[in-house]
Amino acid sequence: MRATATKVPGAFLITPEQLPDKRGNFYESMRADEFERVIGRPFVPRQINYSMSHRNTLRGIHSITVPPGQAKYVTCVRGALRDVIVDLRVGSPTFGQYDVNLLDADSGRSVYVPEGVGHGFLSLTDDTCICYVLSSVHVPGTQIDINPFDPDLALPWGFTEPPLISDKDAHAMSVAEAVSSGTLATWQETALETALETQPNAARRTIP
């Protein structure tokens, strides 16, 4: 697999090496030893979730409080989606920076989302299915929902018609409100300061 650093420190786009033949195709979606060498820490799956979405469905931006914290390995196993991650770690030098990637079943690409980073996506086909491999189990009351239309983030969703979205997401708090409430994790809590060493050219963007 090939790991490419994103604009968000500690987050990576993973592209597998595919081995097609007359029978079909084969590839390793994740190999723990190589993957952990890339991210510089253990990643032990504790829960696996799937979500199915109609075309033009928007889900996110979602994160988890620290503690308990939760890292995600996100893969589109059917259809296609525009995947968006946002640095929500207060004190991070790239706080508010986002990175956008196309994930689709044909490419097998995945995105690793570290603790404290927000995640969302826009489905581009009907019956899009996304798989989340999670580093912690679901704990009620720990989810953080950030408004995907927050003007301070100005995320490039790219939809051409109003998307399907839950009331919870559509009326979620802004980043500024999340900072004021003390909801978001800090850069120090997520212990990813050294991630900048692997991403020296990461773009900088600051939310007012």
Determine the pLDDT at residue 192. Answer: 54
Structure tokens at 191: 């212990």
Region 128-156: what's the mean pLDDT? 97
pLDDT at residue 27, rounded to an integer: 87
Confidence class for position 55, pLDDT limits 50, 70, 90: very high
Cα separation, 69 vs 50, whole angstroms: 19
- Percentage of the chain beyond pLDDT 70 is 92
Residue pLDDT, tens place only, 101-127: 999 999 999 999 999 999 999 999 999
Catalogue the E-assigned strands of the chain. 2-5, 12-15, 47-53, 58-64, 72-78, 80-87, 98-104, 110-113, 117-123, 128-134, 143-145
pLDDT at 109: 96
Range with the poorest average pLDDT among 17-31, 54-68, 82-96, 102-116: 17-31
72 vs 130: CA distance, rounded Å: 12
In one letter, which amino acid is 5? A
Distance, CA of 108 to CA of 16 (rounded, Å): 6
Identify the residue whose tokens are 């800090």. Answer: 186
> What residues are annotated to the active site?
62, 132
Mean pLDDT of 81-87: 98
- pLDDT: which is higher, 34 or 97: 97
Sheet holding 117-123, edge to edge: 98-104, 80-87, 117-123, 58-64, 143-145
Residue range 85-113: mean pLDDT, rounded: 97
Residue pair 129/49 in contact by the 8 Å Cβ criterion: no
pTM of the model: 0.89
Task: Give me the domains of the chain, ranges plus CATH numbers.
Answer: 2-198 (2.60.120.10)
Instruction: Report the candidate in 183, 196, 4, 206 with the shortest Cα–Cα distance to residue 98.
Output: 206
Q: How many residues does the chain have?
A: 208
pLDDT in tens, 154-192: 999 999 999 999 999 999 999 999 999 999 999 999 975
| Mean pLDDT along residues 41-50 | 95
